[in-house]
Amino acid sequence: MTAKVEQRTYEDVVAWLKDHGFGLIEAPGAQTRVFLKKYNCSAAIQKTDDGGGKIFAYPGYMIGSEISKLVNRGYQQFLKTTKSEVAATADHLKALQQFSEEMKEALGTPSLYNESLGTVSESYEYDRIKDRDQPEVDRPKRPWETVKVKAATAAKKTQA
């Protein structure tokens, strides 16, 4: 059984966000778009044609003055900007999840089960599958492959 989602107008969304401690900044040159900030996270929403609100720029943790993109590499999540990349800590991820959940509540959009369990990354870049679409001779050597070669070379030196 699905729950009905309350549709809110853009003005209602903006009022809800202000009432719940979000900092709002009007986007330059756009009357129908605002940037949100809370918990050192930021996102942007815009007015839809039917008068509601929708996400324009997905939530990210602020690194300097830039909204980062959450990247999952399988072994670690990172906050990536155009200038830097920082390992995401538990505090970063908790802030992002709290921000995202409150923003969805304001917009009246459903909170999906898998998203409610934790932070969902914008991209997944697993090192073990990267470049697998290339021919084997063109693939870069993986760290575990170079370690095997070094270990074999070291073993041959100790035997001699």
Q: For 61, how many CA atoms within 13 A lie in the half-sphere containing its CB?
A: 25
pLDDT digits (tens, 9 = 90+) for 52-83: 888 888 888 999 888 888 888 777 888 988 98
> Quick check: 127 pLDDT over 80?
no
For the record, the structure tokens of 88 come out as: 């995401």
Are the C-beta atoms of 25 and 67 separated by less than 8 Å? no
Range 95-134 burial, b when 16+ CB lie within 10 A, else e: bbbebbebbbbbbbbeeeeeeeeebbbeeeeeeeeeeeee
**Mean pLDDT across 100-114:** 78
pLDDT digits (tens, 9 = 90+) for 39-52: 999 988 888 888 88
Which stretch of 32-41, 84-93, 98-107, 149-158 has the lowest confidence by average pLDDT?
Answer: 149-158
Residue-averaged pLDDT of the chain: 79
pLDDT digits (tens, 9 = 90+) for 5-25: 667 788 888 888 888 888 888
- What pLDDT shows up at residue 137? 83
For the record, the structure tokens of 90 come out as: 């538990």
- What pLDDT shows up at residue 1? 44
To the nearest 10°, the Cα dihedral for 152, 158, 159, 160? 110
**Beta pairing class for 53-63 and 66-67:** antiparallel
